[in-house]
Structures are given as structure tokens and as C-alpha cells.
Amino acid sequence: MRPSGRSASQVRPITITRHFTAHAEGSVLVEFGDTKVICTASVEESVPRWLKGKGQGWVTAEYGMLPRATHSRNRREAASGKQGGRTLEIQRLIARSLRAAVDLEVLGEQMITVDCDVIQADGGTRTASITGAMVALTDAIQVMMEKGLLKKNPLKTTIAAVSVGIYQGTPVCDLDYAEDSSAETDMNVIMNREGKIIEIQGTAEGEAFSTEELMAMLSLAKDGIAEIINIQQAALES
Amino acid sequence: MRPSGRSASQVRPITITRHFTAHAEGSVLVEFGDTKVICTASVEESVPRWLKGKGQGWVTAEYGMLPRATHSRNRREAASGKQGGRTLEIQRLIARSLRAAVDLEVLGEQMITVDCDVIQADGGTRTASITGAMVALTDAIQVMMEKGLLKKNPLKTTIAAVSVGIYQGTPVCDLDYAEDSSAETDMNVIMNREGKIIEIQGTAEGEAFSTEELMAMLSLAKDGIAEIINIQQAALES
Amino acid sequence: MRPSGRSASQVRPITITRHFTAHAEGSVLVEFGDTKVICTASVEESVPRWLKGKGQGWVTAEYGMLPRATHSRNRREAASGKQGGRTLEIQRLIARSLRAAVDLEVLGEQMITVDCDVIQADGGTRTASITGAMVALTDAIQVMMEKGLLKKNPLKTTIAAVSVGIYQGTPVCDLDYAEDSSAETDMNVIMNREGKIIEIQGTAEGEAFSTEELMAMLSLAKDGIAEIINIQQAALES
Amino acid sequence: MRPSGRSASQVRPITITRHFTAHAEGSVLVEFGDTKVICTASVEESVPRWLKGKGQGWVTAEYGMLPRATHSRNRREAASGKQGGRTLEIQRLIARSLRAAVDLEVLGEQMITVDCDVIQADGGTRTASITGAMVALTDAIQVMMEKGLLKKNPLKTTIAAVSVGIYQGTPVCDLDYAEDSSAETDMNVIMNREGKIIEIQGTAEGEAFSTEELMAMLSLAKDGIAEIINIQQAALES
Amino acid sequence: MRPSGRSASQVRPITITRHFTAHAEGSVLVEFGDTKVICTASVEESVPRWLKGKGQGWVTAEYGMLPRATHSRNRREAASGKQGGRTLEIQRLIARSLRAAVDLEVLGEQMITVDCDVIQADGGTRTASITGAMVALTDAIQVMMEKGLLKKNPLKTTIAAVSVGIYQGTPVCDLDYAEDSSAETDMNVIMNREGKIIEIQGTAEGEAFSTEELMAMLSLAKDGIAEIINIQQAALES
Amino acid sequence: MRPSGRSASQVRPITITRHFTAHAEGSVLVEFGDTKVICTASVEESVPRWLKGKGQGWVTAEYGMLPRATHSRNRREAASGKQGGRTLEIQRLIARSLRAAVDLEVLGEQMITVDCDVIQADGGTRTASITGAMVALTDAIQVMMEKGLLKKNPLKTTIAAVSVGIYQGTPVCDLDYAEDSSAETDMNVIMNREGKIIEIQGTAEGEAFSTEELMAMLSLAKDGIAEIINIQQAALES
């Protein structure tokens, strides 16, 4: 029995609120149950120096948490003078995943930065961030099309993410904090709408896991992501 | 005529949403028109090292802005490796103002940290932050009373803040970004519910100003703050 | 009775020594009683990158204290790896105040940096710094005129600063450390020679203060600054 | 055909030289073909502050590359003032993997730090690091046993790592730089000697990959790791 | 012919002003011609953590330059976020030299920090700093004796420093900036009052130098330092 | 009697292994007894910004130690966020010494960076680094000649370094850690093949030393360096 009473394959209620803040080209509040992340996509008509003159664009991401998004207050990274290893790892993952959805040559010498800021955390902040970031990115690209900054849509596919894991011996989908903090295995899966894998990261927190367990988790992830992509699509059409 | 169509003494619509996020002892979303700030108050049952054994508590504050809270994206302070001068100045002001409302000896050897994170900026982020922070602080103290961490309420008064300025020759109250960015003079005033001054910071951006103009601005601030303190009170009673 | 035996409106003995060090275009040792600050103005024939090509110049300031300028030794900011919030706040104030005296378009694409380094502190280091910086800036501009770097004098006015406060219930002018450390209210006022306000920053350290008290302090500041501007003038003419 | 002429399942020649440097409790030079990493394990008879009094030990890791371990010189991280995101990500992975082999309660309040420093890079530095680190850790634990710092061996299993990927459409094992830099998919697998998964991290660099491709890669990894564990064992017995 | 008209062995006019600032236990303005350094010695009744309980004291030093002590303005180290290599090298040299004059066990668990801040530079700032620091240290120790913090004087000797070099083929003593910037060889010598060497650092800036040239420079240094030690002594007796 | 049983003038067994790692233009493993340093020379076809357009090249150096090169583990400088004073001092010395061997104008607008990374330390790491760096630099210049990046060889001479000191009252050459940690005096000498001095740095760790002792040490250094230059030469010819 999961602490939330959900079935093993059941994802939390997911809501995606577009146009959440006023200034960004794409701005989304994504909620996976009690996990809430603001994702904004910002367009810049130039690229980082190392890409200048190469005829392609760039998509990058940054991740942060408000100090009291969690049960006890964490030190503000701006005050401690650097982003921690976990933060860097997550923002690298978000950026890599988003780039898998974009044809950077079609984007041209322009850059899109997606900021994912967690305002409330209850497990799965990185998968919620990726899911929301994809919608914010889509909106920003739409704005670029309307402004004439793009002649052709650079999106090759759409992506979404979900966490899966083994909790008390059973594979489950979309772990919340209560599950995540005591799961034997925790795995984040990012897939595209064709059901192919963009990234998979699985860690044995307690017990090492078998290939069969991996397969069971992957199967749950596939179904969960398909459902999440439908929710993304519905939000974009609303 | 003000860009927003408001009268010279009219503050923007102000809303205060309590219990905005789940984990903090006090959590408020404060909105001054399109300026939106999340203020959370976190309680810690110890004090910084330099205060240990002195029989008093501490109230401090930190301030931040999401990178795309503004018209164009600002660099994330956690990524640039330090908080800028403006950020430090604002968070020192918030903390100092809040401490003017608290009897630190009654608080005992406990610390309250108020985080003010701007998610959307349209002028007046520091005065909105102080106003929201006061409510979050009040809620956190209430939680401490209920948990038995305090025998007596350490609040001596309540405070609120508003900006005033001279826009196109006329003193006005609660400047939005359109006014703020072209005002001749910009002044932030923090007062308590007794109508006394906690802090006043006035800067001539364009023309130097006279004592008479200072008085006119101060008078607007007094009325504005009285109104804002009523809004705080109503929020706390709801 | 003030610890120094001064009357409520009496400023400390103020001396301004020009050409204090050899290399800077403007170099001043300013003394407000036992507070001693070296102010040097350095001219650069270019502007920061963000101002390039805008046809205007820039005036900026930096502030520091020798580690043992104070009663007990403070950690050297260069060794701790960053300037503290107080330092940043003060140098932003100095720079803003000086810019209020200069027509940046007449200055052209040139920059003047004023360094204020406190070698001995006894209260009022920021107001002494501003007062001395104004003289160093004036000397540097004179050098630029003589070198042909300026066709027209960009100075619009002259400014000076003084602190006022409420000490044991009485408004007093130019607080020394003994007063400053126990004052109920501390206010820094910067005015130009026309008697108009450039900046006002008042903080209730202990008790909140009334509009009447603000007025009384402002009146003391006005007289004090008029006297200090005379001392600046005399130094410049010697 | 692989650039190196190896078959799809063939790992590079792997050598493990123990006692490579003189001072560390465990010191290994591990070579996966032209990738060479010095792994040293250092024992400390205390734990980090956050673990004090909890009756358990800690195993951690740090990773670095000499500036010219690679084709062109990289900036020295000590000079740039911080470890990059890739470095932090790798050292977190190494540490997590090693902890999966150790019973931290049996270790008691002692800490082992494994430093992995790449002196020459040709792809697969993180898997070579983990493989060498496991041997250095084993040697350090042996020293602790001999010195009487441990009553019981805290090793629960042994682990090793290998990279797999899809190169020109074919799944291959233990990619060198020539393959790694143009592979469609890159996956790092860490397993224990029981053939169970400790960590799996797969990234689609070019094309997204299917579950079937994931299985094919995982199967290659299993065989490769079994072989590598034999090489570790032989080194430990020599 | 030296630019200053001095003879080869002639040091610049040297003045040592004691009690230069008010708060430090020792405070000296030392001038070697146009090089001017404020040296303050601060006493702390404790030692750094790594020395606690070892029954000995510590003497350390820090060095800095005001940004416009030199011909053109240097970036403030506090603003750039770190002390440069030259600064660290100099302050390590000053501290090491001073410790050669002190019996740290007699000092007991107390620390003296000497700050050397250059307010005007014209060559030889490190040798002027060491010379002035020795006097400030002596005054601070005298204060400690008077306060009863020391039962016995921990000074074993007194030290002073001078630079020597080869300028246009001729060995000269106490180089000023005009000489220093074009000398073939630059050597700093620190000796005690017994004429023995504490530290010698010689660098060939242009041509490598012979043992004979080294001897000639060392001989000049010996005479110069003897003269400087007399000046220190006279200052301490005044 | 020296701990190692060597005679007073005897250097440790010195080996120089060229082409130690694969990618660098020059790569050397230098061993002075148990002190082992990897020295790599990297060529860049441009110069630092401050040298652009001046028609000359640059030679620089960086120094590091693996955390467990020493008896107990040192904190990794990349993790602590800055290079320590000792590190900066050593790398400045290495770079200065190498530049004394190179005609920077003949080098043209190109830069060579020599990295010296200590993998095992037993005293004398800076002199071993300089000695190995000279060979790596020579190899890199040879590669530049072969690639046509240089028309003429910019080497003016060759340099080497050795430490000398006074151990238990006797001058000795090439101190190992056992001697170094208890020597009264420690001196590093860098000379060229003509037997002239490039740099000399002598420090009295315990007792101050006389001119006669300096001469005795210098004489030992001269012989030691002559021998080391022969070893360098033999390595370059092999």
C-alpha cells in the first residue's frame, strides 16, 4: 500500500498552468501533487560566445529551490556562493532533455533559457521540472514564430519525465517524498512522445536491483509518461 | 496623470494570501498590483553563534528574484556566485524593519528567517516584501505559541511599507515600474501601526528635492501605510 | 550632554587635506574628528562596457576600511573573499551621491572612480567619505580640464553629507562612535549647496520616530551641511 | 567496425597497478586502454560533523583531471575557483557506487575518501575511476583491519563499472574517445559481483533509444563487468 | 647615476611615525622615500584553532594596497573576490620574517596580527612593510607587557629589510620604482640586528647573475639594514 | 649523518621520463627520489589579452598536488574554491624561472603553459617541478619547430633547480622530507647551464644564517645543478 493510497501505476494529479507569470515568453506552473515548480522560458536573440558563427542555437536550463520549499529550510545557494552538486546535476539533465526535442540548426543563432524554480517540494522535482519546462519551451517557440524570429518550428518531438522506483518491494510510478525517502531504488525516466528513451537514471538506494526489476520500472514509466504527455497536450490546446 | 490611471494617493490593489506553501511556519503570497512576492518565515530553535548564551533571539531576512521576474532575464545570483549589492541592501532593510516589531528577549534563543522571493516584479518589490514578511512572521509566531516554543507573544507592534515618489512633478504613492523607472525621486517608508517611522530612504534620481516635497511624500506614505496595515489585519483575521 | 561636550548642533572639527597621496588625480584626507578617510579620485579615459557608445561618462565609488581602523580588528574583506553588505551599501550610496553632482553627458565617455578608505573610524565614516570624495572629484575634474580631457566643467553643484540622530532623547548633529552606538535613531543626509536633498536614510535603532523628530533632525542636517560645504570650499581655494 | 578494431563486446586491455603511490592506505593506477586514473583511498578516524554520534562511517569520493589529460588543455578547476558540474556529477556517482559496497555501520565512525585523478583521458574515465576506486578501497580496508581499526570487514560486495553505447547503430562495450564522441547513445552501468545493478545512467546523445536497445546494451554491460570484476580480483590476489 | 641622485649604497630618507592611528596596540606609518605604509599590530588573546592547546602563540601578517597607491589604479582585491598571488606571497614573507624575531612559546596562547597597508607606492613596499611591522610589533608587545598579558618579553631580536639590485650594471641599495622597474636583478634581504640572514630572495629580471654579484648586493644590504635598524631603534626610543 | 645515508653534496637518484602522457606537446615524469611530478607543456597559438599585438609570446606555469601526494590528505584546492598561497607562490616561481630561459620575442604571439602536478611528495617538489618543466618545455618547443610554428628556437639557455639547506649544522644538497621538515635553513636555487643564478630564495626556519653559510650552500647548489643539467641533457638525447 502506497502512503498516498495510489495504485502502483498511478501518477499524482498533474496540473499545468500556462501564462503563470507575466514577462517570460513561456511561463508555466507545473504541479505533480504537492510538488510545485515555476518554469519560465526566456528568449535571447544571440548565442553563448563558444557557439557564435556556427549557425545553430542553444537551449539551456537552470534549476533552483526556494529555501523553504522543503520540510526544513535549506541554505540559499546565492548566499552560500555556489550551486550545489545536486542542483548542477539536475539543471544539466533538464537542459540535455530539452535539447533532445529541438533541432538546434532550425533554431538559428538564438538561445532559450528555461528556469525551473521549485516553490514547494514533495518528491519528483526534477521530473516535474522537465515536464513543465517542455510546455514553457513550446510556448516560447510559439511566441518566436509569431514575432517572426523563426521561419520553421524547431521542435522535433515533445518530451516528458516521470520517476519510478521500488517501494517496499513493489515497483511504483511517480514517487512522492514519503516514498522517495525510503525507496530501495529510484529511477528517473525521460521519454519522447514516440515512447523512446531520452534519458534513464536509476540508482539503488538500498538493495541492488535486477534486470527484471529494471524492466518492470521501465514499463511503468512508459505508461506514466504517455499519460503525462496527454496532459501536456491538453494544456497546450486549452 | 499616472500611467495606471490611479489618483496620486491611491495604492495598487493589494492582496495577501496566507498558507501559500505547505512547509513554512508562515507562508504568504503578497501582491501589490502586478508585483508578486512569496514570503516564508522559518523557525529554528537556536541562534547564530555570535548570539549564543545572550538570552535573546534573532530575526533575519533574505531576498531574491526569480531570474525572469523582470522584463528581461537577469543572471541567477546562485550561478554568478554572489548576491549583488542591491539584493544585500534590500534584505538588510527587510530584516532591520522586522526586528523593529519584535522583542528579541521575549523571543528567547530562537531564530526566525524570512525569505522574500519575487516571482513577478512591477516596482515596489522591497515594500511589498516587507509588508508580506510581517504577515508571515506573525503567522510563524502564532505557530510557535501553539507549539509552546513561546510563553509570551514577542510582537511589539506591526509594520508595513510603501514607496512614494515624485513623478512628473507630483508626489504619488506606491509607484509601479512605469513610474519608478522615470521618477525624479524615489522614497521607501516603513512605519509601525502607531504611525511612527521605522525607516525612511529617499533618493533623488533626477532632481534634488526640498524639505516641502519630502513632507508631501511622507504624508502620502502615512496614509498609504495605514491602509496597508488594515489589509494585513484583515488577512490575519480571515 | 554629548560625550564629546559638543552642543547639539555642533559638528566635529573637520579638516580636508588635498594632494594627500601622489599618484591620484584627486587625493584627499578628510577628518571628521577622529574619523579619518583617504579619498582618491582616479580618471580613466573609457567607460564600462555597458555604457560604451552611449555618449556619456560614469562616476563610481568603492569603500573600504583598514582592518584595524576600528576598536577591534575586523577581517580583511580581500581575505574573506567578498565585500560585506554594509560595504556594498555604503559604496553604492557614495557613488549615487556623487553622480547627483555631475552632468554625465558633459563628462563624455570617461570614468572617474573614487576610492574611500577609512584608516581610523570614530562614527560617521560614510558621511565623511562623501564629503571628502566630493573634493577629490573636484580636483580630478580640474586635472582633466587642464589636460584637455574636458571642454566644459561637468560639475552641476557640490554636495556634502552629515549624520544626525536622536541621542538620549535629543536631536544631535554629526554623531561620533560613542553616540552612534547608543543612539535611538541614526540618519544620514546628503544635500547639495542649494540646500536640497540628494539622499536621506533614517533608521530607528531603538524607538520609532515621529515626523516632528524627522524635521528636527533634518533642520540640524541642513545647518551642518551648509557649514561643511564652506569647509570644502575653503579647502578647494587654499 | 570499431575504430580500435575491437569486437562489439570486447573491453579494452585493463590493468590495475596496486601500491602506485606511497602514502595512501590504498593507491591504484587503473588503465582502461589509454585512459589512466590514479585512485587513492585515504582513511580518517572521524566522520563529517553531520554524522557525528550516529554510530556509522562514511565513504566519499572526489574526482579531478589534470589540465592536459585531454586533447586540448582544460582550465585547472582550482584556478577557476570551482569544480564544474560534470566533475561534481562524476564524483557524486563514484561515491554513491562505493557506498553500495560498504556496510557503513560496520565501518564505525571512520571515513574513507577516494580521490580519482585522471592523468590521461581516452573515454570512460568515470567507469575506470569506479573500477579502480573499488580496489583502492579494498586495500584501505585491509590496512584498517591490520591496524585494528576494524573488527569486521565492512565490505558487502564488490562493484565495477563499464560504459556501453550505440555506435553507428550497433551496441558496443567500453567506448573509447573516438567512439564516445560520436555515439548515438552513451550509458554507464555499475553492477556488483552478484550481477545486480547499482546504478544505470543512459543518455541519448543523438537518437532516442528503444527498450530493446537498452536491453542489448545492458547485456553487454553485464558480461563486461563480470570480466572486469575478475581482473579486479586477480589484482587483489597478486 | 641613480635616477634619484643617490649614491649606490645610499638608502632613501626613512621615517617611522609611531602611534599613527588610535585603536591598534601598535600603529606605525613607515616611509621609505615616497613609499608609505601603515602597519598596525593587533593583539588577540587566543590562537587559531590548529594551535589550540599547544602552549604557544602565533604572529601573522596581512598585506594590501589601496587601489590608487600606484601610478594607475589597480582593481580592489576585496571587489575581485580574492587576494592575488603577489599579495599572498608578500604577506607570507612578512609573517615569516616577524616570527623569526619572536619566541612563540614565551608569547603563550595569544596572537598578534600585523596589517601592512600601502597608501603610496614607489618601490620597496615589502621591505618598508617588514621594517615598519617590526616597530608596530614591538609596540604591541610593550602594551601586552603593561597590561600583564606577558610575563616576559618574547622578542629574541629585531629585524629589518631592504631591497638591493643591479641597476645598469651597478649594485645599488633600496631601489625606488624608477630603478626597480628596469633593474636586471632584484633582491630582498631581511636580517636581524646581529647581521645574520633571516630571508633572502633574489630574482634575475633580465640577466642571470653571478655569485660575485650576489655577494656585492648582500654586502650593500648588510650596511643598509644596519642603518635601518638604527632608525627603528631611534623611533622606539623617542 | 643524513637520514637517507647520502653524503652532504649528494643529490637523490633523479629520473626523467619523457612522453609520459599522450596528449601534451611536452610531457615528463620527473622523480627526485620519492618525489614524483608530472610536468606537461601545452602550446596555444595565441597570447593572453594583455599581450595581444605586442609581438611577443608568453610562458606560464601552474602547480598542483594530488590530495594524497602527502603523508596525510590535504583538501583538494578545486573543492576549497581557491589555490592556496603556497601554491600560487610556487607556480609564480616556476613560470618566472622558465621565462628566464626563453626569448619571448622569438616565441612570437604564442603561449606555452606548463602544468606541474605532484603525484607523490617527499620534499623538493618545487625544484623537481622546475627541473622537469624545463624538459617538457624543450620538448614542446621541438614540436613547435617541427610543426612550423617557430622559425627559430627561442631557448636561450636551459635551467635547473635544487634545494640546499643546513641540516643539524651541516650544509646539505637536495633535502628530502625528513631533512626538510627539521632543517634550520632551507634554500631553493635556480641556475642556468652557464652556472649563473636565475633565482635564489633562502629562509631561516630556525636559526638565522651567516654569509659564510649562504656561500657554502650556494656552492653545493652549483655542483648539484650542474649534475642535474647533465641528467636533463641525457634525457633529451635519449
Instruction: Please write the tens of the pLDDT for every residue from D138-173.
Output: 999 999 999 999 999 999 999 999 999 999 999 999
Q: Looking at residue E102, what DSSP letter applies? A: B
Question: What mean pLDDT is predicted for residues E187-208?
Answer: 96
Q: Which amino acid is at C57?
A: G
Query: What pLDDT is stored for residue E4 in this prediction?
Result: 96
Q: How far is CA A23 from the centre of its chain?
A: 21
Backbone angles phi, psi at C80, to 5 degrees: -80, -10
Chain E residue with the nearest C-alpha to that of F219 = E211
Q: What is the pLDDT of residues A77-130, one digit of tens each?
A: 999 999 999 999 999 999 999 999 999 999 999 999 999 999 999 999 999 999
Q: How many CB atoms lie within 10 A of CB E28?
A: 29
What is the ipTM, given to two decimal places?
A: 0.96
| pLDDT at C1 > cutoff 90 | no
Q: Given an 8 Å threshold on Cβ–Cβ distance, is D100 in contact with A208?
A: yes
Query: What pLDDT is stored for residue A231 in this prediction?
Result: 98
Q: Given an 8 Å threshold on Cβ–Cβ distance, is A62 in contact with B67?
A: yes
Query: What pLDDT is stored for residue F206 in this prediction?
Result: 83
Q: What is the pLDDT of residues E41-91, one digit of tens each?
A: 999 999 999 999 999 999 999 999 999 999 999 999 999 999 999 999 999
Q: How far apart are CA E205 and CA C55, in angstroms?
A: 43
Chain A residue with the nearest C-alpha to that of B27 = A68
Q: Could you tell me if B40 and B22 are in contact, meaning their C-beta atoms sit under 8 angstroms apart?
A: no
Q: How many CB atoms lie within 10 A of CB C238?
A: 8
Q: Tell me the pLDDT band of F192, cut-offs 50, 70 and 90.
A: very high
Q: Tell me the pLDDT band of D188, cut-offs 50, 70 and 90.
A: very high
Q: Given an 8 Å threshold on Cβ–Cβ distance, is D197 in contact with A208?
A: yes
Measure in Å the smallest separation between the Cα of E233 and chain C Cα atoms.
24
Query: What pLDDT is stored for residue F173 in this prediction?
Result: 98
Q: Which amino acid is at B238?
A: S
Query: What pLDDT is stored for residue D205 in this prediction?
Result: 86
Q: How far apart are CA E32 and CA E12, in angstroms?
A: 6
Nearest CB to A62: which of B38, B79, B87? Answer: B79
Query: What pLDDT is stored for residue D1 in this prediction?
Result: 85
Specify which residues E158 forms β-bridges with: none
Q: How far apart are CA E174 and CA E185, in angstroms?
A: 13
| pLDDT at F68 > cutoff 90 | yes
Q: Looking at residue C194, what DSSP letter applies? A: T
Query: What pLDDT is stored for residue C126 in this prediction?
Result: 98
Q: What is the pLDDT of residues C170-187, one digit of tens each?
A: 999 999 999 999 999 999
Nearest CB to A204: which of D84, D88, D198? Answer: D198
Q: Given an 8 Å threshold on Cβ–Cβ distance, is D85 in contact with A96?
A: no
Q: What is the pLDDT of residues B118-128, one digit of tens each?
A: 999 999 999 99
Measure in Å the smallest separation between the Cα of A111 and chain D Cα atoms.
19
Specify which residues A31 forms β-bridges with: A15, A36
Query: What pLDDT is stored for residue F120 in this prediction?
Result: 98
| pLDDT at D91 > cutoff 90 | yes
Q: Given an 8 Å threshold on Cβ–Cβ distance, is A88 in contact with D92?
A: no
Question: What subunits make at least 3 CB pairs under 8 angstroms with E?
Answer: C, F
Q: Could you tell me if B28 and B136 are in contact, meaning their C-beta atoms sit under 8 angstroms apart?
A: yes
Closest CA to B43 of B141, B185, B182, B187: B141
Chain E residues at the C interface, defined by Cβ less than 8 Å, are: 21-24, 27, 34, 36, 38, 40, 42, 44, 62, 64, 66-73, 76-79, 81-83, 87, 113, 115, 117, 119-120, 122
Query: What pLDDT is stored for residue C205 in this prediction?
Result: 86
Query: What pLDDT is stored for residue E226 in this prediction?
Result: 98
Q: Which amino acid is at C76?
A: R
Which residue has better confidence, F1 or D165? D165
| pLDDT at B206 > cutoff 90 | no
For E49-53, the CB contacts below 8 A with 24+ separation are E51/E109, E52/E109
Q: What is the pLDDT of residues E135-166, one digit of tens each?
A: 999 999 999 999 999 999 999 999 999 999 99
Q: How far apart are CA F201 and CA F215, in angstroms?
A: 13
Query: What pLDDT is stored for residue D199 in this prediction?
Result: 98
Q: How far apart are CA F76 and CA D66, in angstroms?
A: 13
Annotated binding site of F for phosphate: 86, 124-126
Nearest CB to E81: which of C66, C72, C82? Answer: C82
Chain D residue with the nearest C-alpha to that of F116 = D66
| pLDDT at A206 > cutoff 90 | no
Nearest CB to E218: which of F197, F211, F222? Answer: F211
Please tell me whether A126 is known to bind a ligand: yes
Query: What pLDDT is stored for residue F1 in this prediction?
Result: 85
CATH top class, domain F14-237: alpha beta
Contacts of E82 in chain C (CB under 8 A): 78, 81
Helix (H, G, I), strand (E, B) or coil at C41: strand
Q: How many CB atoms lie within 10 A of CB D170?
A: 11
Question: What mean pLDDT is predicted for residues A187-203?
Answer: 98
Nearest CB to A115: which of B64, B66, B113? Answer: B66
Contacts of C137 in chain E (CB under 8 A): none
Q: How many CB atoms lie within 10 A of CB B86?
A: 14
Chain F residue with the nearest C-alpha to that of E93 = F203
Nearest CB to B68: which of A40, A83, A119? Answer: A40
For chain A, the 3-state helix, strand and coil shares in percent, each to the nearest 5, are: 35, 30, 35
Secondary structure of chain B as H, E, C letters: CCCCCCCCCCCCCEEEEECCCCCCCEEEEEEECCEEEEEEEEEECCCCHHHCCCCCCEEEEEEEECCCCCCCCCCCHHHHCCCCHHHHHHHHHHHHHHHCCECHHHHCCCEEEEEEEEEECCCCHHHHHHHHHHHHHHHHHHHHHHCCCCCCCCECCCEEEEEEEEECCEEEECCCHHHHCCCCEEEEEEEECCCCEEEEEEEECCCCECHHHHHHHHHHHHHHHHHHHHHHHHHHHC
610543426: which residue's cell?
A: F147
Q: What is the pLDDT of residues E93-152, one digit of tens each?
A: 999 999 999 999 999 999 999 999 999 999 999 999 999 999 999 999 999 999 999 999
Q: Given an 8 Å threshold on Cβ–Cβ distance, is E208 in contact with F100?
A: yes
Q: How far is CA F99 from the centre of its chain?
A: 12
What are the counts of helices (DSSP H) followed by strands (DSSP E) for chain D?
6, 9
Give all strands (DSSP E) within F84-210, no chain letters. Answer: 111-120, 159-167, 170-173, 185-192, 197-204
| pLDDT at B1 > cutoff 90 | no
